[in-house]
Amino acid sequence: MKKYLFLLILIPVFALGQTLKEVGLKDRMGSDFLIGAAVNLGQVTGQEAGADSLLSLHFSSITSENGLKWGPVHPKEGEYRFEYGDAYVAMGEKMGAFVVGHTLVWHQQTPAWVFQNANGQPLNQGDLIARMEDHISTVVGRYKGKIDGWDVVNEAFEDDGSWRKTPWYNITGTEFVKAAFRKAQETDPEAELYYNDYNVWIPEKRKAILEMAKNLRADGIRIDGIGMQGHYRLGSPSLDQIEQAILDIHEAGFQVHVTELDVDVLPRPRNTEGADLNINYAESPEWNPYVASIPPAVEKQLVDRYVALFQLFQKHSDKISRVTFWGLHDGKSWLNNWPVRGRTNYPLIFDREMKLKSGFLEALEKNKPNCLPVILFSFFSPQK
Ligand code: GLA
């Protein structure tokens, strides 16, 4: 009996050690997968107080939220703006994080000039591909060895699995996808390359994406992973639908990335077109119900949803490489402005005060073996 007495001393000492050291989300997830956040200009340039310490403590990966999209980084022909990108990769290096570049080829946030010649007429296929390749080699080349993975092509499919009829597709057919991956690979052979899209849980859409990805490989073009944007709601999609997507992507031989994770807690008006209408919606308590604060019962639904999602992700941690939140905290989420401008939304796991929402880690930890020190930690330490 006596020989076990030392445990009575060691366990509290270990637990105390844990309480003194702040443990981040990334450490709590252990080696399951990388934990990421999309970051904006204020955060990468140190203008937002507290953002960099929050990022360093909790996140092992970052994604460029807007600053490396075509519009911000290459607004005019021959004009590149790298202020964001340079600060972004410097922050990633300081954090020792896995740095993701988002995104090289997309139909949104891409200026109209990209698709036009000097006379304002649509470019032909060869000229558009050449312009795209030039963009990719310039941006990927600048951050070669500093950006670890690129969302090469974003959102090329409709939900029914048909190709989205974007200017990229209308001018080049499916060639732009092949050329984009080829050029990214050629420019930085070490960087991982992904295709990224939303609603990957819809079977028809997923089938089309996986077919495209397998065809790339059949043509000898590298593609490492599929990013499933996790723009979810409280009740949909179902865990089964998400799980099937994880299984299918893995089965097809690609890394699974859960990108752009957030959970919208606000009601959604059906007809959201028109800026004026949106302003009215935002002013109406019906569509902007939690201006002062989120009711505890709704926050609990949100935390329960996150717990269920992360339990699913942990179950499949052998297939999932990274889980990235779309934003650092509620105050900076795009969902404060979409699909209605000017609302107060609560879709992330960190609130407006940059505090982790309570109950999330405790619920996850309960299901883990050897959780005593962390449970003690949860009791004793104020959450950050
Ligand atoms: C898409 C894009 C992201 C971002 C979000 C919403 O999912 O991939 O870059 O624009 O929409 O903010």
User: From first to last of its 384 residues, what are the pLDDT tens digits of the chain?
Assistant: 555 655 555 555 455 444 445 789 999 888 899 999 999 999 999 999 999 999 999 999 999 999 999 999 999 999 999 999 999 999 999 999 999 999 999 999 999 999 999 999 999 999 999 999 999 999 999 999 999 999 999 999 999 999 999 999 999 999 999 999 999 999 999 999 999 999 999 999 999 999 999 999 999 999 999 999 999 999 999 999 999 999 999 999 999 999 999 999 999 887 655 566 777 888 899 999 999 999 999 999 999 999 999 999 999 999 999 999 999 999 999 999 999 999 999 999 999 999 999 999 988 888 664 545 544 544 444 443
Please give the distance, rounded to the nearest whole angstrom, from the Cα atom of residue 85 to the centre of ligand 1.
17
Atom 8, ligand 1: residue with shortest CA distance: 154
Question: Exposed, middle or buried by CB within 10 Å (0-12, 13-18, 19+), for 132?
Answer: buried
Atom 12, ligand 1: residue with shortest CA distance: 334
Which of 65, 73, 226, 229 is the best mutation target for the ligand 1 pocket, counting ligand atoms within 8 Å of the beta carbon and taking the most?
A: 229
Please name the residues in contact with 117: beta carbons below 8 A apart, sequence gap of 6 or more. 123, 127
Cα–Cα nearest to 329, from 304, 351, 359: 351
Atom 4, ligand 1: residue with shortest CA distance: 65
192 lines ligand 1 (CB under 6 A): no
CA distances from 246 to 103, 254, 312 (A): 22, 10, 10
Out of 48, 155, 192, 299, the active site residue is 155
Please give the distance, rounded to the nearest whole angstrom, from the Cα atom of residue 227 to the centre of ligand 1.
12
310 lines ligand 1 (CB under 6 A): no
Range list of H helices, 252-367: 275-283, 296-315, 360-366
User: At which residue do the structure tokens 């957030």 appear?
Assistant: 262
Which of 39, 108, 232, 335 is the best mutation target for the ligand 1 pocket, counting ligand atoms within 8 Å of the beta carbon and taking the most?
A: 108
Query: Is 260 considered catalytic here?
Result: yes
Domains of the chain listed by start with CATH number: 26-377 (3.20.20.80)
Q: Is 65 helix (H, G, I), strand (E, B) or coil?
A: coil
198 lines ligand 1 (CB under 6 A): yes
CA distances from 122 to 112, 118, 234 (A): 10, 9, 42
